[in-house]
Amino acid sequence: MLELKIILSDLKIQVKHKYDYMLRLCKDYIADFEKSDITAAADDNAVLKEKEMVPAAPIETCESLCIYRAIAEQLPQFDRFVFHGAAIEHGGNAYLFTAPSGTGKTTHINLWKKYLGNNVNIINGDKPIINVANNTKVYGTPWAGKEGYQRNVSAPLKAICILKQGKTNNITRLKSADALNHIMRQVYMPHNVQALSKTLALIGKIIENIPVYMLECDISEEAFRTSYEELTK
C-alpha cells in the first residue's frame, strides 16, 4: 500500500492507495506535514463495485473515486462538503454552475472564458469542495471531470446558478425552498448519520447566505451576458 499526503480545502489529508494514478491525479495538491486531519483509503470491495458500475473505467480511476468518497464522508466535521458543479473565479469571487450531468455546465463556463478571457479562472470543472465556515469559500480539487479543469486555488462564493437548457435566455433568483430542493441534489450526502445531519445544516447556511439562481439558456453570447450581468451585480 502506498501513501500520499495532500492538502484539500486547507485540510491535511493522508491517502493510502495502490495505484500510481493517484500521484499523477493529485500532483498539484501534494504537501508535507506531520499530523493529518483526515485519513482516507479505498475499500477493495468498493473499488470492484465501482468497476462493475462503469466497466470501461480503469481500475485506478475507480480507486481514486472511492478515495474521494472516503474523504467526502469526513468533510462535514470540518464544515465542508463536496459539490457537483463547475466553479469559476472572476473579480476575486467564485461562481458555481450546477445541473444534472450532460446539461451544459462546461459549455457555459467556457462561454465566460470566451468572452472574459484571462479575467476568468476555472477553479474546478466538476467536484469542488465548499467550506461553509471560512467565509463560504470554494476550493479546487483534483477530481475535475473528464476535461480535467482544476486549479489548487480558492475564492469566496458569491452565487450559485442552476442551469436548464432552453431556447431563450432568462435568469430568476430562487426562493429558499426551491433553491434547497435543487442544491440538495448536487451535494454529496454522507452515509454516516451525524455527517449527514451536519451536511444538511451546512446546506441550510448556504441557502441563507448565498443567492441561488435558475438560468434557462442556450449556448450564445446572450446566455453568457444574461448570467454574467445578474450574478456579478
Average pLDDT, the chain: 95
Q: How far, in Å, CA of 178 to CA of 157, rounded?
A: 19
Q: What is the arithmetic mean of pLDDT over 205-213?
A: 96
State the pLDDT at residue 135: 84
Q: How far, in Å, CA of 57 to CA of 54, rounded?
A: 6
Q: Evaluate if residue 34 carries a pLDDT over 80.
A: yes
Answering whether pTM is above 0.75, one says yes
Q: Evaluate if residue 145 carries a pLDDT over 90.
A: no
Range list for CATH 3.90.228.20 in the chain? 80-231
Query: What percent of the chain stands above pLDDT 90?
Result: 92
Q: Evaluate if residue 9 carries a pLDDT over 80.
A: yes
**pLDDT per position as a tens digit, 146-185:** 889 999 999 999 999 999 998 899 999 999 999 999 999 9
Select the CATH number that applies to the domain covering 80-231 from these four: 3.40.920.10, 3.30.360.10, 3.90.228.20, 3.40.1360.10.
3.90.228.20
Query: What percent of the chain stands above pLDDT 70?
Result: 100
3-class DSSP assignment, residue 24: helix
CA neighbor of 206 nearest in space, from 116, 107, 138: 138
CA neighbor of 65 nearest in space, from 52, 79, 77: 52
C-alpha cell at 16: 493510502
Q: Please state, as a whole number, how many other Cβ atoms lie within 10 Å of the Cβ of residue 213.
A: 20
